[in-house]
A = this chain, B = another copy of it.
Amino acid sequence: MKNYLLNVFTLAVAVISFPILAQNSDPLPSWNDGQTKQAIIQFVSDVTDANSPNFVAPQDRIATFDNDGTLWSEKPMYFQILFMLDQIKEQAASHPDWKTTKPYSLVLSGQIDKLSLEDVLTMVQKTHSGMSSDEFTSIVQAWISTAKHPATGRPYTDMVYQPMLELLDYLDSNGFKNFIVSGGGNAFMRAWATDVYNIPSERIIGTRLSTEFVNVDGSYQVKRVPGIEVNNDKAEKPQQIYQHIGKRPIASFGNSDGDLQMLQWTTSGTGPRLAMYVHHTDDQREWKYDRTSSIGKLDKGLDEAKAKGWLIADMKNDWKQVYPTK
């Protein structure tokens, strides 16, 4: 009984002490001290302070994050496109005709620069459909556990942003619900993002490819078929947030013009709001691009962020570290 009491007491102290320790330590150690970090902490402190006029109840602490370019890198092209290209190469052996059939032949002969957007979409459909939901998850998981980024040689899941992981964790530990709202495929992301970002599967909102409900020898499957049900980009993002979550976020994070409408909707709500763009300014540790980039173009959004005083996380100056230490 004595030991039992001691254990109970130790447990109780541990439970009670932890939040106090967490409050005193730096929740965002990979962020340089400065206005951006200060504004984030000020916002979180404010909405979680029961005595503040800006207090927000936990069930309304909804935060939405774009993925490509906001939580992980997106150069030289979206990682999901690199997955698709790897799949084409892997499946080429069982499709001998691809050697002489465009657009596959362009991939197999290394002429990726000659691919049109239509070519890419054709091959995305080819590699993302025709299998059951479970099979597709297995394919993505097999790829992401072994594939390496062509420029850094890192596994793709090591190219997430350490400062953003800390931000996700900081919000989560302050009662926020984090959601991903990305143009990436929802099934592609769910195959790995729950583990990497600590975000449950149902809080991952993405582009929806078409499906069918099929009976295969008495066993029922959701089968992935060609077609796009929802292209989760631009003005579709706030609408999909409404359809999926049913609430307007109080904080949103993006990096491109494709996220602008999500940030506009977030900041049009009443009460305290946080909108932030990740600005890719670091050509040494990551990439540097904005207004003229074909991927992750940030032009109108940059103007609006400046005009409205949204936060702009300058990757070069605001982040001590870009990728996690491995």
Contact = CB atoms under 8 A, between A and B. Distances in A.
A224 to B, nearest CB: 9
Number of copies of chain A assembled together? 2
A187 interface: yes
B220 A264 contact: yes
Interface stretch (A26-34, A94-102, A110-118, A239-247): A239-247
Interface string A273-304: 00000000000000000000000000000000
Interface of A is mostly: helix
A134 B264 CA distance: 16
Of the four ranges (under 10, 10 to 19, 20 to 34, 35 or more), the interface on chain A belongs to 35 or more
A203 B157 CA distance: 27
A202 B261 contact: no
Nearest to A218: B268
A143 interface: no
Given A245-B202, A246-B201, A239 B265 contact: no
A200 interface: yes
Interface in A186-240: 186-187, 190, 194, 200-204, 208, 211-213, 215, 219-222, 229, 235, 238-239
Given A201-B247, A213-B238, A215-B264, 19 more contacts: A5-B9, A133-B248, A177-B200, A177-B202, A179-B202, A186-B243, A186-B246, A187-B246, A190-B246, A201-B245, A202-B202, A202-B244, A204-B246, A211-B239, A213-B235, A213-B261, A220-B261, A220-B264, A221-B268
9 contacts: A8-B16, A177-B202, A186-B246, A201-B247, A213-B235, A220-B261, A220-B264, A221-B265, A244-B244
